[in-house]
Amino acid sequence: MSFMSNAIVTATISLAFIAPASAQAPQAEKNVSMKMALMIIEGTLEQCAKDGYKVSITIVDKGGNVAASLRGDGTNPHTMDFSRLKAYTARTRGQTSLEFKNLTDKPESAYLKQIPNVVAVGGGVPIKAGNEVIGAVGVSGAPGGEKDEACANAGIAKVADNLK
């Protein structure tokens, strides 16, 4: 077979797998809505206030973009950015940022800390619709990542019925 014949066969096979553009529908995907983000923030704040913590909260959507954020009264300046990084880590990894910390504590997985904008500390929790990660919540300001994570889980619990 000549080069030209190979090129024609390859092009024909490639075109056979491409559906006509008119048959393509827009992608439909689940994502965090503004109302959901606000309800998660409210539930997170309620739990943290009950526990006596002043926190900042960030919700990221499926694409890892900030959907909503709130800097709590009396929080330190770094808590806004840190809550965003925790949320981004949970969204990117599809696991809590505490699970990511525990994973990267192992020498064979430490290289994962080189991913831009991820942090290996607790406080970020993925938001899942079934098994699909549709966003994440990050909390910063409680005395320890596991306490931040508990507040984040309380926020997600507020919308649990909508995530089934």
Q: Does residue 7 have a pLDDT over 70? A: no
Considering only CA atoms, which of 144, 124, 48, 43 is closest in space to residue 83? 124
- Closest to 140 in 3D by CA, of 67, 78, 98: 78
Strand locations in the chain, DSSP E?
A: 56-61, 66-71, 124-129, 132-140
pLDDT digits (tens, 9 = 90+) for 131-151: 999 999 999 999 999 999 999
Average pLDDT over residues 43-58: 98
* Angle in degrees, CA 42, 45, 51, rounded to 5: 145
Structure-derived torsion over alpha carbons of residues 26, 32, 36, 38, reported in degrees to the nearest 10: -120
Confidence of residue 121 (pLDDT cuts 50, 70, 90): very high
141: tokens are 């300001």
Q: Is the pLDDT of residue 116 over 80?
A: yes
- Under DSSP, the state recorded for 63 is T
DSSP-assigned letter for residue 130: T
Q: Please name each of the domains of the chain with its CATH number.
A: 29-163 (3.30.450.150)
- What does the alpha-carbon distance between residue 153 and residue 131 come to, in Å, rounded to a whole number? 16
